[in-house]
Amino acid sequence: MENYRITVLKGDGIGPEIVDETLKVLDRAGEVYGFRMQYDFRLMGGCAIDAAGVPLPADTVEACRQSDSVLLGAVGGPQWDTMPGHLRPEAGLLGIRGALGLYANLRPAKIFPALKAASPIKQSIIGDSLDIMVVRELTGGIYFGERGRCEKDGVRAAFDTEFYTVPEIVRIAKVGFEMARKRGKKLCSVDKANVLESSRLWRETVVALSADYPDVELSHMYVDNCAMQLVRNPAQFDVIVTSNMFGDILSDEASMISGSIGMLASASLAGGSFGLYEPIHGSAPDIAGRGVANPLATILSAAMMLKYSFGLEAAAAAVERAVNAALESARTPDIFEEGYRKVGTAEMGALVASLIA
């Protein structure tokens, strides 16, 4: 029986609740498909600030490096909002991505058949199904560029710098091309090349790399047009590859097409099998501890872990089927509709686990 070492970062807010249910699902999948998870629980985010004075303790980073994969809940909360930027919980997210070299963020926007009616987009626009993969560069761009405060013309000012090197663009574009090659063979590179010099370099580099992928249809789109097209005609997209900030915004927009941000998983990869898996939603401190949070995004993130880090595609598919089957009868409050049974976090986790076969 294969054993996998997982560093678990429950985080803040609803993080512990949704992660606990996900571990139950992983354990059940292991029973059915013949593998075992060994969990190493560590601190990151606000809980780490309270316990160790920093959002990302050194022992957490080391534990992640020694593991086969990392599962993260969510970080942040109003009690840490007044902390300096480098000591806020969100700094832990940027820190862990940089420390582990997680440069490729995969964010699928997929509508489960049972949730078609929950999408704010008309079914005539969505069509029979919708499955978009956003490939977001994660360790470069404006989030990691030079920043600061200054004075200009006698008034206070601030700046953040968008910066990319050709190797950074090449490695994320390769992920996009490879992902498209395994899916619908269509890749849309999103930039703002009509205005930004960094985007012009991005487009030139992606075009040059496309010669290595003649079987993949490459298109380009400005980010503002892409934001519009995701609502107007989302079915036109297969794989989108884009920069850190653009990917952050577009993937959140795409997530709402699926009916709820509580359904969207993500994987952050370092170029091999190692990855960090987390839901794209936040820590939702307003509902923390009430047992009503939707654990499905975290559960689906674990399914991505099974697929991309461990090659357990049958187990990953079984988890996805179990999620869809659970949605046929039960809903958490964020996706509740009349005619379904309203359930809490623990009930939904137990239901998904029971349906894995």
Structure tokens at 87: 């000591």
The position carrying tokens 């487009």 is 203
Dist. CA 209–CA 187, nearest whole Å: 12
By annotation, the residues acting in catalysis are 143, 192, 224, 248, 252
Phi and psi at 249, nearest 5°, equal -75, -50
Instruction: Kindly report the length of the chain.
Output: 357
Q: Which residue in 11, 257, 5 sits closest to 134, CA to CA?
A: 257
State the Cα–Cα distance between residues 302 and 323, nearest whole angstrom. Answer: 12
* Nearest Cα residue to 283 out of 41, 46, 42: 46
Contact yes or no for 268/97 (Cβ under 8 A): yes
Extract the runs of DSSP E, i.e. beta strands, from 111-259.
131-137, 147-152, 155-160, 186-191, 217-222, 239-242
Closest CA to 7 of 99, 71, 101: 71
Return the closest-CA partner of residue 97 out of 233, 277, 295.
277
Residue position matching structure tokens 């998983």: 265
